Amino acid sequence: MLKLLEIELRKLLPYRSFWAAVLAYALLMPGLFISLYRLGVNVRGLQLDFNFYNFPEVWHNTTFIASWFNILLYFFVLLVVTNEYQFRTVRQNVIDGLSRWQYLGGKVMLMLLFAIGSTALVSVLGWLCGMFLSETQNTAQMFVKTEYIGLYFVQLLGYLSFALLVGTLVRKQGMSIVIFLGYSLVFETILRYRILPSEWGLGPYLPLQALGAVIPNPLLASFGGPPANYDLKIVGVSAAYSVLFILITGFVLNRRDL
C-alpha cells in the first residue's frame, strides 16, 4: 500500500500549486483560530466576551472551527481525481500494470494522508490554543474531550470519500463542483423536508446531513444555550458512509471504460 501512496505523491509533489495549497491551508487555519480569540458580541449595549480555548472545551471548539475547512480539502481531492481523467493518467496507470483496485487503493491512501495530516494539525493547534490562549490554565482537564479529534478525522474522511465518488462518477471538474453544491444545498434539503416522511426519522442520516452532525455546534452553549453532545449513532453512520462511498467508487471503476 505504501508503494501505491508513493505513486500518488509522485504525481503531486512536483506541482507548485500543490505546495501553495498546502501552505495556504496550514496558514489559514491558525489564522482563523487566532482571529476568534476573545470573540465579543454586543447585545443591546452589553459587551459579552467569550474565550473558546479553555480546557477541556478547546477540543470541541477547535475541531468544530476546523471543520469549516473540510470543503477546501473536499475540492482539492475532487480536483486531484478529475485531473486523472482529464490527463488520462488513470488509463496510463492501468496500462503500466496497476489494477483498478490498486489505483483506488492509492487514492484511498492519499485521502488517509490528507485526513491524518489535517487531524494532526488541528490537534497541535488545539493544544497550543489551550496552553497559550486559555484564561483558566486548567491543565488537569487537558486531555478531557480529546475524542473530538477522532470525530474530526471521521468527518473529514467521510467528506473526502464523497469527493472521490463524485469525481469518479462525473470526471469533469466544473460539473463535479456544481453537482456537489446542488446535492448538498438543494437535493438533500428537498429529500429531507419534502420527500422523506418525517415519521421515518431518516433525514438526519442522509450522507451530508450525518457528516455535518458528527461534530455538533458548540458555539450555542458558549452563548448560554444547551450543551452540544455528539451522537455515537451519527458517528457510526458517517464511518459506514465512508466505506460505502469507497466501495461504490470501486464498483464504478470496474464497470466503466477508462
Give per-residue pLDDT as tens, 11-69: 888 888 888 888 988 898 888 888 877 664 444 444 445 667 888 888 998 999 999 88
Return the number of other C-beta atoms located less than 10 Å from residue 252's C-beta: 14
pTM score: 0.91
pLDDT in tens, 149-165: 999 999 999 999 999 99
Using the Cα atoms of residue 144, residue 149, residue 150 and residue 152 in order, give the sign of their dihedral.
positive
Give the percent of the chain with pLDDT over 70: 90
Distance between CA atoms of residues 188 and 26, nearest Å: 31
DSSP string, 176-244: HHHHHHHIIIIIHHHIIIIIS-GGG--GGGSHHHHHHTSS---HHHHTT-------HHHHHHHHHHHHH
